[in-house]
Every structure is written in C-alpha cells, then in structure tokens.
Amino acid sequence: MIHREGIASIVLTLLLAGLLVFLARYFCPNCVIAHYFTYAIAAFLLVIVLQFFRNPKRHTTLNDAFAIAPCDGKVVVIEETVETEYFKDKRIQVCIFMSPLNVHVNRNPISGIVKYVKYHPGKYFIAWHPKSSTENERSTLVIQNTVNNKEVLFRQIAGFLARRIVCYSKEGDKAVQGAEFGFIKFGSRVDLFFPLGTEIKVKIGDVVKGGISTIAEFK
C-alpha cells in the first residue's frame, strides 16, 4: 500500500522517468545500450520513491500501560532532560532516528485526548544534531491517556533532507494507539518525553517498528 502523501511525488517521478526514456530514444534512436541504461535509471528512481512512501498495515495491540513506537527507526538517545515547551520540567527523552529507508508513517504512541498541537518553523540541522530537537522545523503533540491520566509529549523533527512535516492531529481529537497521526518526508527523527519513573523498555541502538514495538511502561 502506498501512502497518500506520496501521490504527487510518484506522479512527478513517472513524468521524469518518461522524459528520460523519451530523450534517450529521440537523441539515440539506434543506441540500444543507452536505451537500457535509461530504463534502468527510470526504474531505479521509481522503486526508490515507491519504497519510501510505502504504508504497510500494522496491527497494534492496545494497552494503556504501555507507550509504543510512533515510527520505524533506531533509538539514538535515552536521557533525562528538561522539556521546555509544554511540561517545563524534567522528563525522560527517547529519540528515534528515521533513515530514508524506513517507513515514514507516524503513529500515536498512546490512546487518549490530544491536549496540545503546535507547529514550529525552524532550521534543518542533521537529525542527530543536539539542537535539532529545539531549533529545527518541528511539530509538537501531547496526548493525555484518559484511563491513567499519563501525558506523553512527542515531536516530529525535520532533518537535513526532511523538508516537509505533516501532522493530521488537532487539539481535542481522540487519539487511538497505533493510529496514524502524521508523516515526515525523507528521513528525520521523532522524540518522546515520558514522566520520570516511566520504565523504558528499549536501549540505544535498538531498531523499532511504529505501532508495534513497546517503548515504555507506565508505573
């Protein structure tokens, strides 16, 4: 299944691929090698774009005691830090880096009510730069679980290549754990901020799957 955010990019890639094939056949009508080389480039471009915008089905087992991964990627940071935008106190931060090869659909880590949504324009530091969490283009969301009242802040962060962040959630929306809330194009990261005392179930270097992997357990 292909994500709807990829339709425009796929159409443009098809047009580019068609133009390359046309130019090769027009300027080198008798050069078979050039034709096959152009076909290969066109096919490669199309495959790259299709795999980037893939949207595999994920089955999430709903559980209010756990927070799950909001995206595919690798855990690159686990640390206690001060969250300065919403909570303004100490939290446990978990950062997940998404490479261009990962699925880029973003999913709700917990169920509940969306309490806060804010988009911030910003810079485009590489995704693992320490300043990217606070200075890059980003969208911040907070969901409050209505069963245990736990609040989790999570942040979509643009990277050096990621130039478009899409967030569908709005304040007051009902969030379902594992359901899609957004998309980030061409690699980036998602940060999560948990209350102190939350048991983190991953370690740095772990590869996680959005909507499936358990990130933390609330205590």
- Write out the two tokens for 1: 């299944």
Q: What is the 3-state secondary structure (H, E, C) of 6-60?
A: HHHHHHHHHHHHHHHHHHHHHHCCCCHHHHHHHHHHHHHHHHHHHHHCECCCCCC
In order, the DSSP letters of 198-213 are -EE---TT-EE-TTTS
pLDDT band for position 33 (50/70/90)? Answer: confident
Integer angstrom CA distances of residue 140 from 8, 131, 152? 26, 15, 11
- Write out the two tokens for 4: 């709807």
Token look-up 């409050």 returns: 144
Catalytic residue among 111, 169, 188, 213: 188
- Topology given in CATH for the domain delimited by 66-217: Glucose Permease (Domain IIA) (2.70.70)
Rounded mean pLDDT of 9-38? 87
pLDDT tens digits, one per residue of 149-180:
999 999 999 876 555 789 999 999 999 999 99
188 part of the active site: yes
pTM of the model: 0.85
Q: Which helix (H) or strand (E) holds 135?
A: helix 132-135
Q: How far is CA 151 from the centre of its chain?
A: 20
Helix, strand, coil percentages in the chain from 3-state DSSP, rounded to 5: 20, 35, 40
Range scoring the smallest mean pLDDT among 32-41, 83-92, 206-215: 32-41
13 Cβ contact list (under 8 Å, min separation 6): 45, 46, 49
| Boundaries of every domain in the chain | 4-52, 66-217
